[in-house]
Amino acid sequence: MNWISAFTMQGVSFLTTMFVMAVGMIVLLLMILFVIDIMQNKDTIRRNYPVVGRFRNLFTSLGEFFRQYFFAMDREEMPFNRAERDWVYKSSKGEDNTIAFGSTKNLTPTGTVIFVNCPFPTLEEDAAAPPSLIIGASRDQPYESRSIINVSGMSYGALSRPAVRALSNGAARAGCWMNTGEGGLAPAHLEGGCDIVYQIGTAKYGVRNEDGSLNDKKLAEVAAHPEVKMFELKMSQGAKPGKGGILPAVKVTREISKIRGIPAHTASISPNRHPEIDNVGELLDYMARIRNVTGKPTGFKAVVGAYGWLETMMKEIGERGIEWAPDFITVDSGDGGTGAAPMPLMDNVGLPLKESLPMVVDILARHGLRDHVKIISSGKLITPAEVAWAYCVGADSVVSARGFMFALGCIQALKCNKNTCPTGITTHDRRLQRGLDPADKAVRVHNYVESMKKGVGIIAHSCGVHHPRALKRFHCRIVQDTGKSVPLDELYPPTGSENAIKVAS
């Protein structure tokens, strides 16, 4: 028994010694941090409250996490709340996306959209698939699109290779188009065989000369791909109107530099506008140049702020002839998203879509161009209600970027501009990309499109029409600051070809 007691005593002594050493090391570390904090002069809090002041930064960084998962209500978060994200997550996974007991959405805030249900809704057996949308009907190679929701511009570079592969394959399965974003055409875009809209940004990535000007030969090579159906000239985007694309140096890999035609490992910052385009006449000329080289429908993307230039453009088209008109205009919202943008632009510049979309639709209608120029709506449209609203206003098609990011598994970590995206979507870190399985996520992209079609269809049928493209402004109302809703067609009376006869229902 003596040897057991001796062994036990030795064990206790060893543990005591280790504990004392651990405490000593912690005290030593705290003393070192104390000295460092009181000696430095860059952080006032740490200098005045050494060691303890370090917890402020820790709690600040953790606060974002705790708010999202523990403290924020279902409808409180920005830019997308938990209810919206959960709908996309469940839809993309093919899970039940219905809700119970009652809605958590408050219908009284100003601007809330309320759809006007019909007493005799469309029977399911009478429902019809939306008619095809023909863009550039008078061009050499018009584009026919069937999907009511498509993938908006997200550059390869801003997104990872697995993410782009998943989107390409998923879009092909769903029968929707995919916009390349301004980063050029990558093999991953073509992998799935989906329809491609090639976006030409201000830096002309993928179709540029060394000086940043447009290279017609490279443009023709891109157009030679049968998957490439249209070309979109990006004038501006909602998250950063008046500022070009920003791709941090850490994301400019050798592959990205080759695709874009820029130096590797150097931050890629696009000009804040196309240097060659200084007025609406030059914009029309530039689109004509692209169309002549490619033979394919060409339009432009812009977030609307000032709008007099649109009126001027329509007048000039009237003088030149209808063949000079853009084949489509993509209207982006001032609250759009991006991988990286200055906060002043993201927060305070550019009209939100709820104001700009009806404005653009009506300007085209007043000048008799509404049937010729198609309207593509972009900006925070990730659920059926938002997409249905866009069709009520007059959009011909809808695109979404962040909706598809959620379908890929985005958790709104707000790290898109870092290279530390935990879901592998906006990072080139191979370790983080490993978690994103392109085959699995392609299925989710397809499911999301199908759920969106079904959801928007449900709203359309409730309003008494056979398909989403038949929705009109009188099918929804907008809540005013008085608490009372007003029909959308009274706020924005339709004009020209947008004018529709109300049928009593």
Model pLDDT for residues 9-33, shown as the tens digit of each residue: 565 676 777 788 888 888 888 889 8
Average pLDDT over residues 273-295: 95
d(CA 499, CA 505): 18
User: Helix, strand or coil for residue 135?
Assistant: strand
Backbone φ and ψ of 104, nearest 5°: -95, 5
Cβ(426)–Cβ(166) under 8 Å? Answer: no
Q: Which residue has the higher pLDDT, 324 or 17?
A: 324
**Residue 8's pLDDT band (cuts 50, 70, 90):** low
Give residue 214's pLDDT: 95
Cβ(200)–Cβ(233) under 8 Å? Answer: yes
Distance, CA of 106 to chain centre: 25
Burial (CB count within 10 angstroms: exposed 0-12, middle 13-18, buried 19+), residue 5: exposed
Q: CA gyration radius for the chain?
A: 27
d(CA 136, CA 143): 7
Number of residues that make up the chain: 505
Average pLDDT over residues 355-374: 94
d(CA 263, CA 70): 44
User: Helix, strand or coil for residue 176?
Assistant: coil
Q: Which residue has the higher pLDDT, 351 or 233?
A: 233
d(CA 124, CA 461): 8
DSSP state at residue 70: I
Residue closest to 292 by CA, chosen among 220, 360, 346, 235: 220
Cβ(160)–Cβ(433) under 8 Å? Answer: yes
CB atoms within 10 A of CB 149: 27
Distance, CA of 405 to chain centre: 8
Burial (CB count within 10 angstroms: exposed 0-12, middle 13-18, buried 19+), residue 166: buried
233 Ramachandran zone, left/alpha/beta (phi>0; psi -120 to 50): beta
**Is residue 505 predicted with pLDDT exceeding 60?**
no
pLDDT digits (tens, 9 = 90+) for 111-155: 999 999 999 899 888 888 899 999 999 999 999 999 999 999 999
| The 113-115 sheet, strands edge to edge | 113-115, 476-479, 485-487
Give residue 163's pLDDT: 94
Q: How far apart are the first and last CA of the chain?
A: 96
**Residue 266's pLDDT band (cuts 50, 70, 90):** confident
Give residue 237's pLDDT: 73
Residues 6+ apart with CB under 8 A from 497: 365, 368, 370, 371
Alpha helices (H) in 265-307, listed in sequence order: 280-294
Whole-prediction pTM: 0.84
d(CA 342, CA 346): 6
Burial (CB count within 10 angstroms: exposed 0-12, middle 13-18, buried 19+), residue 40: exposed
**Packed helices 280-294 and 308-320: angle between N→C axes, nearest 10 degrees:** 60
Q: Mean pLDDT of all residues in the chain?
A: 86
